[in-house]
Structure 1
Amino acid sequence: MAQSIITVVGKDRIGIVYEVSKLLTENQINIVNISQQLMSDFFTMIILVDTSKCPKLPTELADFFAQESEKLALQIRIQHEDIFNAMHRI
């Protein structure tokens, strides 16, 4: 299983979970675990995903989510699990 971490941050509004889930579905990315929280007027979400069936390369996925971020007025970032863990290691 190829796992990655997706982070989503933006002004809270109806439909954010739907919009992000739709992007994942369209790219054959499976949600393994999800955590979301509302911080004042900001919506935050961290998703552990399985990208093993996704036809896009990791760099293509990063570019794709960057483009979709602009369209959806969100910050959507994806990192491979190993990179995420290395960055957050003490």
Structure 2
Amino acid sequence: MQKGIITVVGKDQVGIIAKVCTYLAAKQVNILDISQTIIQEYFNMMMIVELSSITDEFGTICEELDKLGAEIGVNIKLQHENIFNKMHRI
């Protein structure tokens, strides 16, 4: 199974989760796990997703998520799980 990690960070507002999840469903990205929190007025979400059935190139999805984030005022990043793990090793 090919997995990815999506992070979403920014000022909290209505509809962030809905917009991100709607986009992912349209691209056949399955959400395996999700965690979100709001600290004061800042929204932080992390998702583990399955990429095995995606309909577009990985790079295209990364770019479109970046654009979606800009539209809704948050920072959205998608990384392959193995890259994320290497970057966050202690």
Q: Structure 2 unaligned runs (5+)?
A: none
1:35 maps to 2:30: no
RMSD in angstroms over aligned alpha carbons?
A: 0.8
Q: Which moved more, 1:53-62 or 1:75-84?
A: 53-62
Q: Is it true that 1:73 corresponds to 2:73 in the alignment?
A: yes
**Number of residue pairs aligned between Structure 1 and Structure 2:** 90
User: Partner residue of 1:6?
Assistant: 6
TM-score (normalizing by structure 1): 0.95
TM-aligned CA deviation for residue 88 of structure 1? 0.7
Question: Hey, what's the Cα distance between the residues in 1 that align with 2:83 and 2:38?
Answer: 26
- Tell me the equivalent position of 1:16: 16
Unaligned 5+ segments in structure 1 are none
Say which SS state the counterpart of residue 53 (structure 2) adopts. Answer: coil
TM-score, normalization by structure 2: 0.95
1:69 to partner: Cα distance: 1.2
Identity %: 38
Secondary structure at 1:77 match in 2 = strand
Alpha-carbon distance in structure 1 between the residues aligned to 2:19 and 2:9: 13
Q: In the TM superposition, what is the alpha-carbon distance from 1:62 to its structure 2 partner?
A: 1.2
Looking at structure 2, the residues matched to 13 and 49 of structure 1 have their Cα atoms a distance apart, in angstroms, of 23
Which runs of structure 1 show a deviation greater than 4 angstroms over 4 or more consecutive aligned residues? Answer: none
Question: Offset of 1:53 from its aligned partner?
Answer: 0.7
